[in-house]
Structure 1
Amino acid sequence: AHAADDAHAEDGHGGTGSDFVKLNNQFVVPVVQQDRVAALVVLSLSLETRANLREVIFQREPKLRDAFLGVLFEHANMGGFNGSFTKSDRLDLLRTALREVARKEFGEDVVNVLIESIARQDTQG
């Protein structure tokens, strides 16, 4: 059993506590400028859920990762990872888009998508 499972066991039946499901691997997003990779952005994401979706999320993780990568690539293509990419308004837009695709897959039991870490590494060139 995961430690996170034990932390939420005390909610009991009908509990309103959230469960946090960390996706196994980081997401790596290329930032392309002038037809070359100018940087790589690396993110770690977790889902905050109402229901006990942990096993279902892990079963469907490849599909979810594909959908998340689509959102992340679009965000990069719109310049979302350029300049002050950690500004709260930019991250709020990204979180909202990620939450929408997670809800398409798992419904309203997905409360939020949490960005646990984010880093940008500029490439040499």
Structure 2
Amino acid sequence: MKKLLLPLIGLVALLAGAGGGYFLRPHSAAEAEPPPEETVVPPDYVKLNNQFVVPVLEKGRVVSMVILSLSLEVVPGTSERVYEIEPKLRDAFLQVLFDHSNAGGFRGSFTDGANLVLLRKALLEAAQAILTDKVSDVLIVEIVRQDS
């Protein structure tokens, strides 16, 4: 009996150690529970009421007109505030658009991606100067140039 007892105790200890190791092992990423989903609140989009009309000048004469429609990507719940201060936003945007026009931004291939990136960046900076962290992007919804 003593000869059987020692191997049996060894076998039980071996199985207990293997079982403990299995249950106490670190879990892999595939077995880990997924983290709880975070609620992502989508932004609000505010379309400004009227289009922007920007003259393109050459030698003091209007050679074309650029017409744009803009929308703002804002923090949810900010739409009413945007409409309250729209006159101030329009003034700031018109200054940016006139500067862009005077720098030649609406001549030639005015819808070139790099050209529009610069314009969007300048418009966003103007919007953030007024709305601080409430606005995250300025979207050019429509743009057209009418040559005379």
Match of 2:73 in 1: 48
Rg larger for:
2
| Contact 1:16-1:50 at 8 Å conserved across structures | no
Are 1:67 and 2:57 an aligned pair? no
Deviation at 1:52, TM superposition (A): 1.5
Following TM superposition, the consecutive aligned residue runs of length 4 or more in structure 1 with deviations greater than 2 angstroms are none
2:132 to 98, 107, 122: 107
Superimposed CA distance per residue, residues 4-27 of structure 1 (whole angstroms, 9 cap, x where no aligned partner): xxxxxxxxxx74311100000000
Length-normalised TM-score, structure 2: 0.72
Q: Is the 8 A contact 1:28 1:41 kept in 2?
A: yes
**Counterpart amino acid of 2:114?**
D
Q: Is the 8 A contact 1:44 1:118 kept in 2?
A: yes
- Unaligned runs of 5+ residues in structure 2 are 1-38
Taking every aligned residue pair, what percent have the same amino acid on both sides? Answer: 54
- Of Structure 1 and Structure 2, which has the larger fraction of its residues in strand? 1
Q: How far apart are 1:50 and its partner, in Å?
A: 2.0
The one-character-per-residue Cα deviations of 1:31-85 (angstroms, maximum 9, x if unpaired) are 0111100100000000011232111110100010000000000000000000000
Q: What letter matches 1:66 in structure 2?
A: D
Aligned residues: 110
The two structures, once aligned, show a CA RMSD in angstroms of 1.0
Q: Which runs of 5+ in 1 are unaligned?
A: 1-13
- Structure 2 residue matching 1:65: 3-state secondary structure: helix
Q: Distance in 2 between matches of 1:80 and 1:88?
A: 12
Greater RCO, CA 8 A, separation 6+: 1
